[in-house]
Amino acid sequence: MRIVLVGPPGAGKGTQAAFLAKNLSIPHISTGDLFRANISQGTALGKQAKSYMDAGNLVPDEVTIGMAKDRLDGPDTEGGFLLDGFPRNVHQAEALDAYLVERGIALDGVLDLEVPEDEVVKRIAGRRTCRNDSAHTFHITYKQPKVEGVCDECGGELYQRDDDSEATVRNRLSVYHRETEPIIDYYKQQDLVATISALGPVAEVTQRAMDALK
Ligand code: ADP
Ligand code: ADP
Ligand code: ADP
């Protein structure tokens, strides 16, 4: 299956993607995680991305689309993939379509996670992320680690992402409404969109997602 996951920052995309990718035996590809890995490794790509991310703005398309295509060209995408955080504007969606056409493949669905804005703010404010791997996320009330400040999965140190500060979150939400939401209409024209509520326990949301993708 080839799936795109859409939703505001903090909706639970990363959390759901981990379970869905496992259930469907496809790789979870998060452009945010790829950027953060590049930043922690000090690569040129990471240096290009950092100031945009810290301000809560989108990293320019020239950088992002190239990185996403390189990842999609990887050896593990033959059986499908779950894209999380890409595409994030209509230009990226068009670039992805062109790439898929070139490969002779197509998306199976776009899963749109819906969450009220006040819940998103609570989720982001309480999010704690592992320094070793930003796909390992916790929450100070909803998903506490066994030992405070320590990642259950790898023992790494948990911290609050720089872009999870209140001021940056506000900008990320407005960027989401302005730039990313239009891709939902873009994909509706291809009849690909399934919208589900991302409220409630993680396992319930995963079940809703699996039902929607059938
Ligand atoms: P969240 O899961 O909270 O929405 P992400 O980890 O997906 O956050 O993204 C963090 C930041 O990385 C974004 O605010 C943006 O600066 C950058 N980023 C991630 N994916 C993209 C993309 N497809 N296009 C441009 N910038 C991106
Ligand atoms: P995104 O990738 O969309 O930015 P995350 O998956 O990182 O979102 O989730 C944001 C925060 O909300 C994390 O701290 C996560 O533990 C928490 N979270 C995710 N799903 C739920 C849920 N269903 N209920 C409560 N908290 C959740
Ligand atoms: P409203 O939009 O009316 O505030 P929400 O559904 O956003 O309603 O949340 C109501 C309350 O339930 C919130 O204060 C939040 O703390 C709690 N809550 C919402 N979703 C979850 C969840 N997945 N896990 C734990 N608590 C939640």
pLDDT the model gives residue 167: 86
Residue 166 has a pLDDT of 86
Q: Are 124 and 22 in contact (CB under 8 A)?
A: no
Residue spans per domain, the chain: 2-115+167-213
Instruction: Reduce the DSSP state of residue 169 to 3 states and report it.
Output: helix
**pLDDT averages per 10-residue partition of the chain, 214 residues:** 98 97 97 97 97 97 98 97 98 98 98 96 96 96 96 97 91 97 98 98 98 94
DSSP string, 16-79: HHHHHHHHHT--EEEHHHHHHHHHHTT-HHHHHHHHHHHHTPPPPHHHHHHHHHHHHTSTT-TT
88 annotated among ligand-binding-site residues: yes
11 in a known ligand binding site: yes
Is residue 103 part of the annotated active site? The answer reads: no
Q: What value of ipTM does the predicted structure carry? A: 0.88
CATH class of 2-115+167-213: alpha beta
Residues 68/4, Cβ–Cβ less than 8 Å? no
Question: Separation of 151 CA from ligand 3 center, angstroms?
Answer: 24
Q: In this structure, is the dihedral angle defined by the CA atoms of residues 194, 198, 203 and 204, taken in order, positive or negative?
A: negative
What is the model's pTM?
0.89
What is the per-residue pLDDT for 41?
A: 97
